[in-house]
Amino acid sequence: MKENQLDLVLVPVALSVVIGYHLWLLHTIIHHPTRTVVGLNAIARQRWAAAIMADPQKNAILAVQTLRNNIMASTVLATTAITLVSLISVFMGATTNSSPLTSASMLIYGNKTHLLSSVKYFAISLCFISAFVCNVQIVFIIFDSNNTLVMPN
């Protein structure tokens, strides 16, 4: 099979593997939550919140500091995602304005036409933009939970 026809096989196979994995993970989280890290983290968060709420006067500073650290981690991840989108746009500009044999176009595997290269760069940029949006949403959710933990009434 030629290199520029590999996209016809690799893209559907990769999408089916990712969708299959997430369906299996969702099934496992719903039916056997202790077999996944997601389920164990949810149980640990519930226990942590119950322990913090048991004595809010004593544990309020610990709750605020823990949530502040989570906000800082989400902010760093959001910044990293936006930085990667910027780098991808630089590579996209480098490959569309030059010959097809540049070092930037060597990063692309499969069909290297200008249209499909742009589609590939757009797809990966879309993934990082969605990661940025999710991390920003996490910051808002943590901020709300911070208010809930500190002011229980």
User: What is the separation of C-alpha 80 from the centre of its chain, rounded to a whole number of angstroms?
Assistant: 11
The pLDDT of residue 17 is 96
DSSP E strands, 16-104: none
What's the rounded mean pLDDT across residues 125-150? 84
What's the rounded mean pLDDT across residues 4-15? 82
- Choose the weakest-confidence range: 31-35, 52-56, 70-74, 131-135: 52-56
Q: For 98-117, how does the pLDDT look when each residue is reduced to its tens digit (9 = 90+)?
A: 555 555 556 666 777 777 77
Q: For 93-102, how does the pLDDT look when each residue is reduced to its tens digit (9 = 90+)?
A: 776 555 555 5
The amino acid present at 90, given as its one-letter code, is: V
Question: Is residue 11 over pLDDT 90?
Answer: no
Instruction: Tell me how far apart the alpha carbons of residues 42 and 48 are, in angstroms, rounded to a whole number.
Output: 10
pTM (2 decimals)? 0.67
The pLDDT of residue 150 is 66
Instruction: Tell me how far apart the alpha carbons of residues 153 and 143 are, in angstroms, rounded to a whole number.
Output: 17
Residue with tokens 């910027």: 86
Instruction: Tell me how far apart the alpha carbons of residues 103 and 13 are, in angstroms, rounded to a whole number.
Output: 27
The amino acid present at 118, given as its one-letter code, is: S
